[in-house]
Amino acid sequence: MAMFAIKRRRTEVAVGQIWRTRSVAPGYWEVLRIYDDSEGISHVALRQVDDPTSRKTIATELLLTELGYQLVSDVAEA
């Protein structure tokens, strides 16, 4: 039986960060909100930068794996 390991980045997720999808047609997504669902699983609400009406919610763990997303812009310090 083959075992696969998913690498996790050591990155903190914060509101305002911009993440890029790692796909043939990359998209840029801004973190709008971070929250735990009723089962205690952390999720992030994202808004597509190029189309603010396009939104999605994914598990924070998925955002932090090296499979689907890459951090491109951190939150600007005030």
Ordered by start, the domain boundaries in the chain are 18-73
pLDDT, position 76? 55
> What pLDDT, on the 0 to 100 scale, is given for residue 5?
47
48-72: pLDDT as tens digits: 999 989 999 999 998 988 788 989 9
Q: What is the pLDDT, as a whole number, of residue 19? A: 94
Report the alpha-carbon angle 69-3-58, nearest 5: 30
How does residue 23 score in pLDDT terms, banded at 50, 70 and 90?
confident
Burial track 19-53 (b if 16+ CB lie within 10 A, e otherwise): bbeeeeeeeebbbeebeeeeeeeebbbbbebeeee
Q: Per-residue pLDDT averaged across 2-29, rounded?
A: 76
β partners of residue 29: 19, 48
Tell me the two tokens of residue 38: 């009723």
Q: What is the pTM of this model?
A: 0.79
- In CATH, the number for domain 18-73 is 2.30.30
